[in-house]
Amino acid sequence: GQLDVVVANAGLGYFASVETISIEQWKETMDTNLTGVFYSVKASVAALKQSKGYIITIASLAGTNFFEGGAAYNASKFGLVGFTQAAMLDLRKYGIKNGTKIIVSDDGNSIILKPVTEQYLRNLQGSLKGKGGLKVLLDERYRDEQGQ
């Protein structure tokens, strides 16, 4: 078969102030959360050019909202959002679809996908019929927020 969708997801968090976080913790956070996703995307480009597939990266609310003690984690997730948007500009000329960032927040019970719309995900699922499909559930609160 062919590669139609890459979901690049990595998450590791050391939460400490700039003053107290170790250089090793900083590097491990960047290597996991940002460089790991880069490796996954880079390794998939040739196959996705052939299939005109999709790249989905999983970021975090920490990629758009900073907080105390989150310097390393925030930097890695802000970087991931920027990387995904830049990759969209680089790869769209090949028919690879990405650039719609997915921000995930886990409240212990559900995963909230923002700002990806339900319609976008339905279109993605529809385009993959017969290719294994894609099952996506959106949190009811997000649907209500968006009036969907």
Catalytic residue annotation? 73
> Shortest CA distance to 57 belongs to which of 103, 13, 14?
103
Q: Is-contact 47 2, C-beta < 8 A?
A: yes
What does the alpha-carbon distance between residue 23 and residue 76 come to, in Å, rounded to a whole number?
A: 14
> Shortest CA distance to 136 belongs to which of 43, 37, 60, 56?
56
What does the alpha-carbon distance between residue 48 and residue 104 come to, in Å, rounded to a whole number?
A: 24
- Lookup: tokens for 98: 């990405």
